[in-house]
Chains A and B, each alone.
Chain A
Amino acid sequence: MRYIEPHGHMVSRTTDDYQAMALAGCAAICEPAFWAGFDRKSADGFHDYFCQLTQHEPKRAAKYGLPHYCWLCINPKESEDMALAADVLALIPQFIGAPTVLGIGEIGLNKNTRNEMKILEQHIELAVKHDQLILVHTPHLEDKRKGTRLITDVLKAHSGVRPERVIIDHVEEHTIAGVLDQGFWAGITLYPESKATPVRAVDMLENFASQRVWLNSACDWGHSDPIAVPKAAAEMRRRGHSAAAIDSLVYGNPVRFLSQSKNFKDPQALR
């Protein structure tokens, strides 16, 4: 089988993980900018992180035959510090021209605060101005439903945002329908504990599968599984879904969304 990992935080993973993903059929990895598990103290820390995402990590992935792409932003967990966020937002334009940048992400909300909202709006402006795709992180657990609503309202209110160029990630059973009904793409994140397990994800797909859904592992420095997407594909197989339907979901869908960025190359075409 082949699949795309559209959301993996590879800077926090080992080379064993790259190898496991390549062996499982991964054809390309996309890495959104995110929280490092601790707050960075200055914009310099983000400058180095963006260099890592655009220069170093693609080389590491290439050793396993994997094209590596990235998204840029300051994540909502660090957006509470408005001065830091302003400095980081000012840095982004100098990296946007890098050949592997797909867009602005993962932006969104964490605790649904006023400051987070302001920085989210500034990221959306930046994405519209530079004609970039948008990848949205929706809040965790009890904050998800409210945050998803606040985020989709802000996106809908902006005349420059085209919903088909926005993916709302980390949807669950209570948020997926609203996201899809408004014309956005929806990402289902497979986590061992929070978010969705592979089994629940396949239930959601059987109930809501759209041409605008992707699956991702969002593997990072926490409890997560870099080969969760092929595990979900195995669950689909076990339930009797055809190889063609599975391929169209775990490979075709992400390729169609990501190909809206001129920087993304269908891995099939590269072979």
Chain B
Amino acid sequence: MPDPHPLAGTPRRSRDQVADLHFMDARFKLLDLAAFLDRLERATGADDHRVRGLRQALPILLEGGDDRVAKILHLWSDPSLTPIEQADTKSASGVWPGLK
């Protein structure tokens, strides 16, 4: 990385230290995610593109490497490279609607 800042370079931490700081936060978020999937299960109809995108991201959580966030954001991104003619909405939904 060009022009490194003194904050750069992850300080050496043990996994215990990371868990001490952030385990409870991750725990409640994982339970919230599980609850969301359960809630979908109890609802009717098919998954829309957002939920499909979310389900496709779940296996990434179990992959190795320290770039899961970037991988998920790439998965959900519009892969095209040219401007579109006109927008049919002002807002984004969180997952590219064309994701198969």
- A residues apposed to B, CB below 8 Å: 77, 80, 110-117, 139-146, 149-150, 172-174, 177, 180-181, 183, 199-200, 203, 205-213, 236, 238-242, 244-246, 248-249, 253
> Which of A139, A143, A236, A246 has the most chain B CB atoms inside 10 A of its CB?
A143
Q: Which residues of chain A have C-beta atoms less than 8 A from B6's C-beta?
A: 209, 242, 244-245, 248
Q: Which residues of chain A have C-beta atoms less than 8 A from B1's C-beta?
A: 177, 180, 208-210
**Contact (A112, B69) CB under 8 Å given A199-B25, A209-B8, A211-B5:** no
Smallest CB separation, B84 vs chain A (Å): 5
Q: Is the CB of A141 within 8 A of B76?
A: yes
Q: Is the CB of A172 within 8 A of B3?
A: no
B62 interface residue per 8 A CB criterion: no
What is the total number of residues of chain B having a CB less than 8 Å from a CB of chain A? 40
- B residues apposed to A, CB below 8 Å: 1-11, 13, 21-22, 25, 67, 69-70, 73-74, 76-81, 83-87, 89-97
Other-chain residue from B2, B9, B84, B95 in contact with A111 (beta carbon distance below 8 A):
B84
**Contact (A113, B3) CB under 8 Å given A139-B92, A206-B8, A207-B8:** no
User: Please, which residue of chain A has its CB at the minimum distance from the CB of B87?
Assistant: A111
Give A238 to B83 CA distance when docked, in angstroms: 43
**Contact (A205, B7) CB under 8 Å given A140-B91, A142-B93:** yes
Give A146 to B82 CA distance when docked, in angstroms: 8
Q: Is the CB of B67 within 8 A of A173?
A: yes
Q: Is the CB of B85 within 8 A of A143?
A: no
Other-chain residue from B11, B77, B91, B94 in contact with A206 (beta carbon distance below 8 A):
B11
User: Please, which residue of chain A has its CB at the minimum distance from the CB of B77?
Assistant: A145
Q: Is the CB of A206 within 8 A of B69?
A: no
Q: Is the CB of A113 within 8 A of B5?
A: no
User: Please, which residue of chain B has its CB at the minimum distance from the CB of A148?
Assistant: B77
Q: Which residues of chain B have C-beta atoms less than 8 A from A115's C-beta?
A: 86
Q: Is the CB of B10 within 8 A of A206?
A: yes
Other-chain residue from A142, A145, A180, A181 in contact with B94 (beta carbon distance below 8 A):
A142
Q: Is the CB of B83 within 8 A of A142?
A: no
Q: Is the CB of B78 within 8 A of A173?
A: no
Other-chain residue from A113, A199, A238, A241 in contact with B7 (beta carbon distance below 8 A):
A241
Q: Is the CB of A173 within 8 A of B8?
A: no
Give A77 to B74 CA distance when docked, in angstroms: 23
9 smallest beta-carbon distances between A and B, as pairs: A111-B87, A209-B8, A209-B5, A141-B92, A145-B77, A211-B3, A174-B73, A173-B70, A140-B92
